Structure formats: structure tokens, C-alpha cells
Structure 1
């Protein structure tokens, strides 16, 4: 067994980087702190209430934000536009993921697009820039779209969870329950004609299944997301393709299936 020794400068930087990726960003203090007992204070959204109120009427009292899934559903349903929905999420403190994330990662692309792509959750680069799929996997996604004549002006891109989970872990069922109503409302407001999910967790969320992505990928299904009925197809996540280049053949077949469906529906 190697003896303990002081870390050199590069090794210490590597350790700090690892801790940051895992979500550890607070040093140990002199006194213990029970993080489970901490709860962010409820906050109001006065600006949103004013926007949502009819002209000439007194704005309704703004809703208070908390960690109740029923309250998340009520808040999401109150949004009458994507701008209002983004404002709600920006002020929402009910999901603990927000406490560790740098910023909200709401969406990218064209909200008027007929095609919507749904991933799982932001990564480190997305967390820094505030847009989905802008890291290495996003660059690969852009190339995949370009191969069938698409770009971000012709698709709308979102995630099932709008904040980066610490260490890029999979969101917990509780976190998903708090974020899902906002995704549902986002889909309802965009009203895409086609949906493609990216990766297993997004596929399981949108298709309401526990099946694996390898079994489901490349197959069209009629799904209902919130109150919006749409045809959807799952494919592999670009990050998976970067780790497993041989799987790009399967993803290419899925992209061709998307292109064929577009032609069938007269979407170009």
C-alpha cells in the first residue's frame, strides 16, 4: 500500500475539481450544520402576477413557492406563455436541485418549431452557459441534426429537469415529481408535432415506462405529455455515443426515421 504523502499542486487542483463536479462547494466549518433541516424560504412572484392579471385590474396575490408537487402543478398550469413559465421556474425554490446549480437551464432553439428534443438534465457546461446541449454532447447533437437538414432554428430543445444535478447524477423521483409539471406545461405551450427524446431517463419520463433505451429506441409511439398528444421517438443520448462510438449507427437510423416522419407530415 502506498504511504500517505502531501499532494502536489496539480493533484490538489484535480481533487478540488472532482469535489466541485460532485456538488461539494462548502468547506467544513467549526460548527456542524444540519443541511436536511434547512429549507429555502417561500418566495412570491409579483412580476408574474402583474403580467398575468388583465389590464386595469388589481394583480392577484402572487403564489407562494414550496416543495409540494401539487403546488408545482398549480404553478406550472398558471403560465400562459413560455416567458411566464421561465419566470416561474426562475423564482421557484421548491426543488433542491436549484440550490447547487449555477443557473436555470430552460431551453434553446425555436419555440415555434414543429420538432421538440427532450434530454435528461443539464451538465457542467450547460450549467455555466444556461442553455441545454452546449458541451461536447451538444456539439455532436448539432452535427446529428445537420445530417438530416436541421439546426437549432428548426427545433426546440429542453430537458426533463432544468437544473444540473450535483455530479451529473440521475435526478431522484422526488426531484422529477417537482420538475415534471413544468416540462408538461412547456410541451403544451410549444405544441410540437414531433418529439424525440435523448437518452434512457428522458425516454422513461416521456413514455412513462421502465423499459430500457436499447429496447425502445427507434420506435414511434403516440404519447400524451401533459395535455398534448404527439408522436414521439426515443434515441440514444449524444453523451452515450461519445463513450460508445459503435452505437452511432443506431442513432443514425433513428435520425433517418425522424427525417422520414418529417417528410410524411410535410415538415420538410
Structure 2
């Protein structure tokens, strides 16, 4: 093909420059005909992420909050080995603040005792009830009124100032058992030192135990009331005489037993008069 025709074809094809193939390059396309190859843009390095930022950006499971520890319960101070004062003033103060057993946790007042401190007759009941807990004095409810009538029948009174006709009234425990239940052995044991000291200070000629619980705890016996009532017993190292009779609360529930109670009252009177 002559140069003129070739130039015209090239122009029709839109090829402005042309050069013939050289030997060994038969498969090579003209430079002007080679399709341009787009070069890939240089890879961009990702910016480095600080550890702190990476840790912040990564979602973490929130730790479950720990349940607050329950506050430790502090047990009341129970001075089991506390020395018991040998005088009335000190003894009253110790009993008032006593925490020697669990009864201190539910009481309103301690019930120390009432009456003449050198009375020849000492009455020992079981434990305070609701009225006694509220007022801090033993036998102030219905049973207490009946007890006052019983004492009056033998010429005695808790308010009497004449030692010959006086009486001192106390209980085996100084705090009310919840629900008026029987005092438990450890509660009685915690209060025994107080009762022992009261008996030592009063120096009664006769102790009267009212009801089964008072009699059993006072005499350290498990015998029923029917066997404890009647004979003369002895208390402690001093050998103080003890008589057992019905509790006034029992007599209110069982009025037929009042006749037996009257026999006990006469025996108490004779014992105090030295006629037993």
C-alpha cells in the first residue's frame, strides 16, 4: 500500500502516527494503538490507631455490678463474766444495762424487783409480763393484784416499811420473754447471779416460789409442780427455806385451786412465825 492510501486509512481510523512492526515484535501492538492501562493509585497506609483509642472504640461488655455486701450484724455485748456488785445501788445499775442474754434485745424495761430490802419474806415469780415490762415493776397486772390480796391475807404488803410485815418481790429473769413464753435455761442462767445476789442482800427467812417455772428454776429441778408443792425445800449454800405454791395467774384461770392456795398461805404464815 502506497503512502498516500495508508495515510488516508489511518486518518479514517483516527490514527495519527504509525510505525511498522519490527522483527521479533510481531505480537507487539503499536504504541499509539495500545490501550492505556490505568495505574492503580498507590496504596494509602492506614493511620495507626493508638492502643488507648482502639480500646476505647471497641465495645466492651459492662461488668455486672457487685452486690453490696450485707453489713455484718454486731451481737450485743454480753458480759457473762461481769462481776456482780455486792450492794443494792451497784446491782440495780448492772441489771438496768444488762445484755447478758438475748432478752435484752426485746425488752422495754428491766424488772429488778420491789419491796423492802430486809424483808423476812421473798416472793420469786417466773418473769415479767407485758404490764411489768412497760412499768418496770413485777406483778402489776391482774395477777399482781391477786398476789397483793394474798399477801394482805397474811398481813404482808410490798409497800410495807416495817420489816416484820414487809416482803420483797422478784423474778428468776429480769426481762420479759417475748410472747410471755417460758424463760429458756440460758436466760435463767444469765440472771441467776442477780437473783443469788438479791437473796444474799435481802437475807429472807423464807422464799416462796410462785408456779412451776419459778420453782423448777429456783430449785434446779424438773419435778412437776404437784410434787414440788407441799414439802419444805432449801435454796443454795445458805439453805434458805423455800415453799412452792400456785402462780396467781394460774389461780385466775383455775379458781377452784384457791382453796389449796389458801392452805399454802397459812403454811407460809406459820413458817414466818416460827410455828411450822
Fold conserved (TM > 0.5)? yes
Distance 1:148 1:239 in 2: 19
Cα offset, 1:95, TM superposition? 1.4
Structure 1 unmatched runs, 5+: 1-30, 43-65
Distance 2:122 2:189 in 1: 21
Counterpart in the other structure of 1:258: 268
Corresponding position: 1:39 with 2:75: yes
Corresponding position: 1:175 with 2:175: no
Offset from partner CA, 1:165-218 (integer Å, 9 cap, x none): 100001111111111111111111111111000010110111121111122113
Counterpart in the other structure of 2:245: 235
Distance 2:227 2:109 in 1: 34
Counterpart in the other structure of 1:82: 88
Tell me if the contact between 1:218 and 1:257 (Cα under 8 Å) persists in the aligned partners: no
Cα offset, 1:223, TM superposition? 2.3
Counterpart in the other structure of 2:61: none
- After superposition, the CA RMSD in angstroms is 2.1
Corresponding position: 1:118 with 2:154: no
Counterpart in the other structure of 1:249: 259
Cα offset, 1:222, TM superposition? 2.4
Offset from partner CA, 1:150-178 (integer Å, 9 cap, x none): 11121000000000010000111111111
Q: 1:38 to 1:251 in 2, by over 3 A?
A: farther
Distance 1:178 1:232 in 2: 22
Counterpart in the other structure of 2:107: 101
Offset from partner CA, 1:74-95 (integer Å, 9 cap, x none): 422xx12122111111122121
Distance 1:157 1:38 in 2: 35
Distance 1:88 1:67 in 2: 11
Asked which structure has the greater CA Rg, the reply is: 2
Distance 1:131 1:218 in 2: 28
**SS of structure 2 residue aligned to 1:228:** coil
**SS of structure 2 residue aligned to 1:209:** coil
Offset from partner CA, 1:37-86 (integer Å, 9 cap, x none): 5412x4xxxxxxxxxxxxxxxxxxxxxxx253xx1xx422xx12122111
Counterpart in the other structure of 1:161: 173
The TM-score normalised by the length of structure 2 is 0.69
Distance 1:145 1:105 in 2: 20
Counterpart in the other structure of 1:207: 219
Tell me if the contact between 1:187 and 1:228 (Cα under 8 Å) persists in the aligned partners: no
Higher normalized helix content (fraction of residues):
1
**SS of structure 2 residue aligned to 1:157:** strand
